[in-house]
Amino acid sequence: MKILLGSSVKELENVALNYGQAAFRGRQIHNWIYNYKNKKKNIDQIEALPFDFRKKLKDDGFKVSELSFQEKNLASDGTLKLLLSTGDNESIECVGIPTEKRLTACLSSQVGCPMDCKFCATGKEGLKRSLKANEILDQILFIENEMNRKVTNIVFMGMGEPLLNIDDLLLSIRSINEDFQISQRKITVSTVAVPKMINKLSTKSFQILGKCQFTLAISLHASNQKIREMIIPSARNYHIKNIIEDCRQFVRHTGRRVSFEYLMLSGVNDKLEHANELSNLLRGFQCHVNLIKYNQIDEVDFKQASQKNLQLFQSRLFNNGIAVSFRKSRGLDKNAACGQLRQNVRNK
């Protein structure tokens, strides 16, 4: 099977030339694939191409993409979660988060996840495999087609650990830049953090993309090593102080500030002493903290921190000189927690 999605203009021109067609036929394929108004992504629908050319492509095993629709949930705030099937009958999730001026696509990078974060539904079934670049990109097409809008922003914050799939992650970012015409500055790569991989991410970004301008977001969720190991068991392999040092190196290497995601869990990490500890940990380099309200799931005992504690925590960080904001949760009424829709469908 030969997947066209993710191919560059030049690569598609070469496909056309190899079939005795003019190079502009490859550009026609490219323009058709990345136009969100084209709802059915199969070669038969590319009517600009000669019928014989389309037939030859199909007969030789070419396809635009390989994911298929399985289920969707639309929340009252407009957030759309999609469950998609892969060619080998696995399931992945992606989410479209709309505002008046932007449409953010939250993408998965793996089927399942090996990190086993205790607050996350995805890790309950472990890792199946990593996604190929075209499978990552196909999620954008499904979101655009379902919501009839062009995606403007990307967050790799769905199922999986992006730093365990760096090559396909960066290939997908290349296509997001060049084919979907979305700037790196509108892309966020969120990671629990894996030893030696933060430096590898920036180094390979310069090698593959020529630059590294996306935002690195670390799912920190704790102010010290003990708490972090309790909620993220894989953290025992990567001390929190080493993570921060690698993030400092990332800033020096790329000139881009690092974001730290901090899920507010009642009685676990939401006290003022934790805010002070976090401030001491992060003080002195270009970074930002996103406080996040926890999406409750049935499988675990964590509870949302109170609004009062959240506000006090935010104020303490601000007063300590740490850039901080509160990220409002979206889609709370429709299985918003990562991995929840996939799990619910499997349990039916």
pLDDT digits (tens, 9 = 90+) for 61-117: 999 999 999 999 999 999 999 999 999 999 999 999 999 999 999 999 999 999 988
Q: What is the pLDDT of residue 331?
A: 62
Segment 127-153 shows an average pLDDT of: 96
Q: What is the pLDDT of residue 3?
A: 95
- The full set of domain ranges for the chain reads 2-63, 68-346
What does the mean pLDDT of the chain come to?
92
List Cα–Cα distances, 286 to 183, 187, 327, in angstroms: 21, 18, 19
Task: Assign 211 a pLDDT band (cuts: 50, 70, 90).
Answer: very high
Q: Which residues belong to the active site?
A: 93, 338
Does the structure show a pLDDT above 90 at 124? no
User: Is CATH 3.20.20.140 the right assignment for the domain spanning 2-63?
Assistant: no
List Cα–Cα distances, 53 to 19, 26, 44, 63, 248, in angstroms: 8, 11, 10, 13, 52
CA 193 to CA 202: how far, in whole Å? 13
pTM recorded for the entire structure = 0.92
Q: Which of 164-178, 290-304, 333-347 has the highest mean pLDDT?
A: 164-178
Segment 5-26 shows an average pLDDT of: 97
Segment 183-204 shows an average pLDDT of: 97
Task: Assign 121 a pLDDT band (cuts: 50, 70, 90).
Answer: confident
Segment 173-200 shows an average pLDDT of: 97
CA 211 to CA 205: how far, in whole Å? 6
Does the structure show a pLDDT above 90 at 184? yes
Segment 296-320 shows an average pLDDT of: 90
pLDDT digits (tens, 9 = 90+) for 275-300: 999 999 999 999 999 999 988 776 67
Q: What is the pLDDT of residue 102?
A: 97
* pLDDT over 90, % of the chain: 84
Segment 26-33 shows an average pLDDT of: 96
User: Is CATH 3.30.479.10 the right assignment for the domain spanning 68-346?
Assistant: no
Q: What is the pLDDT of residue 69?
A: 94
